[in-house]
Amino acid sequence: MDLLQKIFKGDRVVWIVYAILCFISLIEVFSASSTLAYSTQNPFGPIARHASFLILGTVCVIFLHNFHYKYTKVLGVIVLFLAVTLLILTPLIGVRVNNASRWIELFGIQFQPSEFAKLAMVIFTAFILSKSQRTQESRDKAFWIILIFTAAFAALILAENLSTAIMLCVVIYIMLFFGRVSWKKLLSLAGIVIFFAAIFILLLKFVDDMPGMKRWDTWQNRIFGKELSVMDPGFKITDNNYQSSHANIAIANGTFIGSLPGNSTQRDFLPQAYSDFIYAIIIEEMGWIGAIAVPFLYMILLYRALKIARKCTKVFPMLLVMGSALIVSFQAIVNMMVAVGAGPVTGQPMPLVSRGGTSTLITCIYFGIILSVSRYGIPNTESEADSGDEIDEIKEQAIETSQEYGV
């Protein structure tokens, strides 16, 4: 027990949520990846790969939560330049998967540059806002800097991954709100975004094709595609509604306790049963218990992050923990909405639960950041804050203040 307490420090509730999500992931990915196991003729190949990423991710969590959150600034700079480079290269050398060029393959490993972009912008936004809290003028300057970087990343991601671009913008917008940016600027920005979004939706509705936009038809089908209910006499499963139809069947098969893990009937029909539609398989196999428990875990994570943020005495850790929890929780919500038919198919995996490589590791980094802030960002607790680091930071602030006033 003492050894575990020495290794797993920080917020215990966050650790419990992390452990339960990993446990659910191992069970459901093993069950839902039957098609992969069949195609590779290796029943344990897919789960072995996924388990290896979870183990590597857990090592990342343990490593990160033992380092002071302020070192994430260095991580942010590295990931920022990496994300920009990879996003520029993706349209040129990217691998097309499911009619979208979202992936890059290096040394036999495929990963999504957009995952690095989300992480980089969360850290970058928290850092810039934390350095601009003294005056309204500095906050306004920070607003424009963050807006330019967010718009640039969104533009690079938008064409091939609209849902990720929207998710990134929403999370950064919420961070701007918590960063005390002028409400007039936030309202103006919201109005401009809504205006252009309305124009974009109208174009999708009435323009059949847009030159240079390879996914124009895909967006139209997902947003405006008309689907009959499975209860209608004329209902027919087509290529356009194939995934959502089998997801609905899986959910309908779920009873109070479900069919139990390993007994899903729709895992063999859903192409992304182990990723985009894993929540439908969870409901089919775990019933109402799984349907309620999984979103509840992400709600607990968000609640704990809010609690940690409220206890932080500095802006940077407060925004850092909020941004990390928001990006994880929001992505989980989008994934679950797609699975239950409450939103268009987006291709967003469920953080930590879906089978994945890049997304799993990046999600583990978010958990490591949250746990690091819970240790070092809250004073007068068992966070084990390094007093030497705090003294150095106080000195730096004193020097900055003296320079500002010409002392």
Q: Domain-by-domain residue ranges, the chain?
A: 2-404
Q: Which residue has the tokens 């003296």?
A: 402
Q: Which amino acid is at 214?
A: K
Query: 315-339 vs 162-178: helix axis angle to the nearest 10?
Result: 140
pLDDT (tens place) for every residue of the chain, 407 residues total:
566 666 778 889 999 999 999 999 999 988 888 777 766 777 787 888 889 999 999 999 999 998 899 889 888 889 999 888 888 888 777 666 655 566 777 766 777 888 899 999 999 999 999 988 887 788 888 999 999 999 999 988 887 778 888 999 999 999 999 988 888 889 999 999 899 888 877 877 767 666 556 665 665 565 555 554 555 555 666 666 677 777 888 888 877 888 888 888 888 777 778 888 889 889 998 888 889 999 999 999 999 999 999 999 899 999 999 999 999 999 999 989 888 877 777 778 899 999 878 889 999 999 999 999 999 988 754 444 443 444 344 344 444 444 443 43
Q: How far apart are CA 176 and CA 62, in angstroms?
A: 29
Please, are residues 56 and 35 in contact by the beta-carbon 8 Å criterion?
A: no
The pLDDT value given to residue 114: 86
Q: Residue 175's Cα: distance from chain center in Å?
A: 15
The pLDDT value given to residue 93: 73
Global pTM?
A: 0.84
The pLDDT value given to residue 398: 40
Reported as type and span, the H/E element at residue 393 is helix 387-404
Handedness of CA 135, 140, 143, 148 (dihedral sign): negative
Reported as type and span, the H/E element at residue 165 is helix 162-178
The pLDDT value given to residue 216: 57
Pairing of strands 95-97, 100-106: antiparallel
Q: Which amino acid is at 262?
A: G
Residue 95 vs residues 77, 82, 358: alpha-carbon distances, Å: 26, 18, 15
Tell me 70's DSSP state: G
Query: 12-32 vs 278-311: helix axis angle to the nearest 10?
Result: 170
Q: How far apart are CA 209 and CA 199, in angstroms?
A: 15
The pLDDT value given to residue 393: 46
Helix extents (H) in 207-342: 216-224, 242-253, 278-311, 315-339
The pLDDT value given to residue 400: 46
